[in-house]
Structure 1
Amino acid sequence: MLRIHFMQQWFGLSDVAMEEALYDTPLYREFSGLGGISRLPDRVSILGFRHLLERHELAEQFLKTVNERLSAKGFMLREGTVVDATLIAAPSSTKNKDGERDPEMHQAKKGNQWHFGMKAHVRPESRLNFGLTQRAVRRD
């Protein structure tokens, strides 16, 4: 739950958005260490944990400790945004009005499979932020 709380802060996600992100984003599930989808907490559990941290004034202390450890390893924390580069499939015979393929359509390989279409780089809408939004970035 603490890792989920950190992800909420780093990516500025509400409780509802965090629940959805855990279901939608394998990287979030992997980082949380909770295993399969059947073990993921719902928004009420996420809210309850956040309120527990707030009630005991632990959130800032935990984040400060994590920031110090990351900094000692050469990372610095900055505000972050998750970007989903989704492939939007199109039939390979798609042509524009001049009878040519759309120049923005390309082939892309996802896993071991090729797809024709375009990439949609989608940034989630700005969400309610509960303070201290940061993400780790390697300093070199």
Structure 2
Amino acid sequence: MFSLFADQEREAKLDSLGDPLALLDKHVDFVALAAEIDRRVPRPSRAKGGRPPYPTELMTRLLVLQQLFNLSDEQMEFQLLDRMSFQRFAGVKHTGRVPDRNTIWCFRERLVKANVEHQIFAEVQLQLQAQGFQAREGQIIDASIVRAPTQHNTADEQAVVKERAIPVEWSPAKRRQKDVEARWTKKHGKSYFGYKLSVSVDRRHKLIRCVRVSDASEADTLHLVDVLDRGNSSRDFWADRGYHDKPRERWLKLIGWRPHIQRKGQAGKPIHERSKARNKRLASPRARVEHVFASLTQMGGKVVRSIGLARAEFSLVVKSAVYNLKRMSSLLEMA
């Protein structure tokens, strides 16, 4: 049946079902996020004329949508034209001019080249604190492998790449398609190619407080000190057996930290029953970080489509910030 008010009726139905984007729009200060981006990465000059660039707030909202729903630039353009909730969230419902895939790519590339991802993450932390979500009750440290497209190189090419160099016979076009910064690693006997995301999550709110991205070959223990959150109200932290390192634990205790790290056995020397009981006791608080990684996985945080460490770091740090915004909105609604 034809209705002059079909759009309004569908919007009302969408609101009654619970639009998660409406919660983000309600609780997140996108103006402040856009202002921080403009401060770090000024908009292109219009001295030569041409069409004015899209507002930074609009592009920031599209960046959030991409990370939240794990969309490519092509899919982002399509969904923005097709999906009412996206149009309403981005503020383009009543205009025929919307950013296309090239505009979205160019905006993100400007941010990648300016290394602005950690400033975006820091601005989100300020918004968390402004809403009363200070880091409390200690923190949980963990890392996850993020897979990248597998590279098919010859043995000679791989030997050069391992030395962090680029084979001289590769053409410029081939170099653009080759990821020479991702690395192989093994976990539970299975090989993975890509990067590693290490995070610190506060125990009270399950919000990500510190982020570190590296290639997959780096050991988890190397990132432990980097991701410890000095702003947490407690000096306690929990970690799994991958972080077990007695000299480092002694040093952390000397400088005031209280580590609760699960123990692991060695070849021919399994852990005794008391350590097994301790591991079981520590598993409960440590499991809270697994909920965070499960949410990141739903947002596509276990795979990167891009090439190179800079783009992977940008994607994973911004995705962690978007997770925080989503989690903050949920906590505020529950409150």
Q: Give the TM-score taking structure 1 as reference length.
A: 0.54
2:84–2:93 contact (8 Å) kept in structure 1: no
1:3 matched to 2:61? The reply is yes
Deviations 1:97-124 (A, max 9, x none): xxxxxxxxxxxxxxxxxxxxxxxxxxxx
User: Equivalent of 1:34, from 81, 92, 95?
Assistant: 92
Stretches of structure 1 lacking an aligned partner (at least 5 in a row): 83-125
2:76–2:101 contact (8 Å) kept in structure 1: yes
SS at match of 1:38: coil
1:21–1:28 contact (8 Å) kept in structure 2: yes
Bigger Cα displacement from structure 2, 61-70 vs 35-44: 61-70
Q: Distance in 2 between matches of 1:13 and 1:64?
A: 24
- Note the 1:1-140 alignment, pairs <5 A: 1-70=59-128, 72-73=130-131, 78-79=295-296, 128=305, 130-132=315-317, 133=319, 134-135=322-323, 136-137=326-327, 138-139=330-331, 140=334
Q: Distance in 2 between matches of 1:65 and 1:11?
A: 21
Give the CA deviation at 1:16.
0.9
Deviations 1:1-50 (A, max 9, x none): 11111211122111111111111211111111234351210000000000
Q: Distance in 2 between matches of 1:22 and 1:81?
A: 20
Assess, with a 3 A threshold, how the Cα gap between structure 1 residues 69 and 14 changes in structure 2: closer, same or farther: same
Equivalent pairs, count: 97
Assess, with a 3 A threshold, how the Cα gap between structure 1 residues 36 and 12 changes in structure 2: closer, same or farther: same
Bigger Cα displacement from structure 2, 39-48 vs 18-27: 18-27
Q: Distance in 2 between matches of 1:67 and 1:21?
A: 29
Give the CA deviation at 1:64.
3.5
1:19–1:43 contact (8 Å) kept in structure 2: yes
Q: Give the TM-score taking structure 2 as reference length.
A: 0.25
Match of 2:177?
A: none
1:22–1:29 contact (8 Å) kept in structure 2: yes
Match of 1:100?
A: none
Give the CA deviation at 1:72.
4.2
Stretches of structure 2 lacking an aligned partner (at least 5 in a row): 1-58, 134-204, 209-294, 307-314
Give the CA deviation at 1:70.
4.3
